[in-house]
Amino acid sequence: MHQRNVIMFSKSCEYAIKAMIFVAQKSSEEQRIGVKEIAKGTDAPEHFIAKIMQDLSRRKLIHSIKGPNGGFYMDSHDLKNSIADIVKAIDGDSIYTDCVMGLKACSEKNPCPVHFEYKEIKKNLIKMIEHNTLAEFKEKLESGKFFLKNK
């Protein structure tokens, strides 16, 4: 048996989603959040999350400014991004395209044994990640009904 099985998202992607939600909550154009704070707020290793933030920044999902009082922040446009946008940036679109059995040839006309059943599940999965935007999380989390931290 294997140690850890990735369900849905890679570890990088999990960190990315948590970091984005964290920054969405705390930041503004004036108030930027540094890597150290993000690492603490999301229980992620500092240098590793730094790499991930770079990716997200390069892909224009978040803004960054170097130097004193620098850090990461989101503008109102960034807040419109959904979990799906983060997943696509970090893990690619395999969640949209891949057969759950890993069959490259699997399709509507050449379906694997669970193709049609999984199709429905996948639809709901995609709905879930697409309709949850960072702006909505900001609201949800402010209400105190949800949690991000792991300890």
Q: Which spans of this chain sit near DNA (rule: CB under 7 A)?
A: 2-6, 10-12, 15, 32-36, 44-48, 50-51, 53-54, 57-58, 64-72
CA geometry: angle 38, 42, 56, nearest 5 deg: 60
For its own copies, the closer CB: 34 or 141:
141
Long-range contacts of 132-136 (CB under 8 A, 24+ apart): 132/82, 132/83, 133/79, 133/80, 133/81, 133/82, 134/20, 134/21, 134/24, 134/74, 134/78, 134/79, 134/80, 134/81, 134/82, 135/24, 135/79, 135/80
Q: Which is nearer to its own copies, 29 or 117 (CB)?
A: 117
Q: Which does 117 bind (CB under 5 to 8 A by kind): its own copies, DNA, none?
A: its own copies
**DSSP assigned state of 109:** S
**Residue 114: contacted member of its own copies, DNA, none (CB under 5 to 8 Å, by partner type):** its own copies
- Range 94-133, binding its own copies (CB under 8 A): 94-95, 98, 100-106, 110-115, 117-118, 120-121, 124-125, 128, 132
Out of 79, 91, 133, 135, name the contact with its own copies by CB under 8 A. 91
